[in-house]
């Protein structure tokens, strides 16, 4: 058995090749590193029943190209959403686009929980987070 040391500098978070293991799929389609972070967000869209909604929820993970969050709504794959990150304005600032963090997104996966009423919703942003 050969054991190699791996420097933390050698890890590139943009690489999507999975480590070899029995639990990791042979192919990972993600092109950006996912950050497992819980951030409050607002989502706005039309649910499966055709009703417009606005919901405060939180992310499970976020990347430059998409996010996963929980929702109590019944949502449909391919539906369009607006994802907003609430950011407080400094007290000396007027409202401006600098503090308007809205990201159009399309639902790519819905994972309905069996024991919890919330669902995990995965979306792909129509524009990368760091694009202006």
pLDDT value for 6: 38
Residue 115: CB partners within 8 Å, gap ≥ 6? none
Condensed to tens digits (0 to 9), the pLDDT of residues 97-122 reads 556 689 999 999 999 876 667 899 99
Flag whether 132 is in a domain: no
Cβ–Cβ contacts within 10 Å for residue 92, how many? 5
Flag whether 78 is in a domain: yes
Flag whether 12 is in a domain: no
- The terminus-to-terminus CA distance of the chain in angstroms comes to 49
Flag whether 16 is in a domain: no
Residue 40 pLDDT exceeds 80: yes
Residue 13 pLDDT exceeds 60: no
51: domain CATH number? 2.40.10.220
How many domains, in total, are found in the chain?
A: 1
Q: What is the DSSP string of 73-114?
A: S---TT-EEEEEE--PPPTT----GGG-EEEEEEEEEEEE-S
Flag whether 109 is in a domain: yes
- Model's pTM, two decimal places? 0.68
Range of the domain at 65: 29-88+98-125
């Amino acid at each position: 058995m050969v054991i190699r040391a791996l420097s933390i500098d050698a890890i590139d978070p943009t690489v999507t090749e999975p480590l070899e293991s029995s639990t990791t799929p042979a192919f990972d389609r993600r092109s950006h590193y996912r950050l497992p972070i819980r951030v409050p967000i607002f989502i706005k869209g039309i649910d499966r029943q055709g009703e417009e909604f606005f919901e405060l929820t939180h992310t499970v993970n976020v990347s430059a190209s998409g996010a996963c969050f929980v929702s109590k709504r019944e949502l449909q794959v391919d539906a369009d959403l607006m994802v907003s990150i609430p950011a407080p304005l400094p007290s000396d600032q007027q409202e401006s686009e600098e503090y308007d963090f809205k990201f159009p997104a399309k639902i790519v996966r819905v994972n309905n929980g069996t024991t919890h009423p919330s669902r995990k919703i995965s979306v792909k942003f129509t524009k990368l987070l760091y694009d202006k």
